[in-house]
């Protein structure tokens, strides 16, 4: 579970968002939709702790695993899309690469 309370982000005098309070529950699916420049990517960077908040806090459940696929279309151009997508889940990606290695050993 991820609990977000009173989250705020500013860039200079511009308030990108403020007082964001929500709970993201396990096994649920969520979508994040908004206009360009509305703070979607910034919000996600805050969830991954790649960017700090100007107010509020984010609390993660004890055994939470957060998989992330960075927004960089050239990050791994040479890899099949399945491998690129799986890199967001470290344990899953490790298992996939081990399975592929075992398959090619035969």
How, if at all, do strands 55-60 and 2-11 pair? antiparallel
- pLDDT tens-digit readout, 26-55: 888 889 999 998 899 899 999 988 999 999
Q: Please state the pTM of the whole predicted model.
A: 0.66
HEC per residue, 20-40: EEEEECCCCCCCCCCCCCCCH
What is the spatial distance between Cα 56 and Cα 53, in angstroms, rounded to a whole number?
A: 7
Q: Residue 90: which domain range?
A: 67-106
> What are the pLDDT digits (tens) for 48-104?
889 999 999 999 998 887 777 676 667 777 888 777 777 778 888 888 888 888 888
* Same structural domain, 95 and 48: no
In the chain, the number of structural domains is: 2
Residues 21 and 52 in one domain: yes
Question: 54 and 9, same structural domain?
Answer: yes
Q: Cβ atoms within 10 A of the Cβ of 39, count?
A: 18
Query: How many Cα atoms sit within 13 Å of 11 on the Cβ side?
Result: 8
| 8 and 42, same domain (yes or no) | yes
Task: Tell me: do 49 and 90 sit in the same domain.
Answer: no
């Amino acid at each position: 579970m991820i609990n977000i309370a009173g989250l705020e982000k500013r860039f200079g005098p511009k308030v990108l968002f403020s007082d964001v309070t929500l709970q993201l529950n396990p096994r649920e699916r969520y979508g994040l939709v908004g206009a360009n420049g509305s703070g979607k990517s910034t919000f996600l960077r805050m969830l991954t702790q790649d960017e700090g908040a100007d107010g509020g806090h984010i609390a993660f459940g004890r055994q939470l695993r957060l998989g992330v696929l960075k927004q960089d279309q050239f990050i791994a151009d040479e890899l099949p899309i399945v491998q690129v997508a799986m890199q967001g889940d470290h344990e899953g990606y490790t298992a996939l690469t081990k399975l592929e290695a075992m398959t090619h050993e035969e």
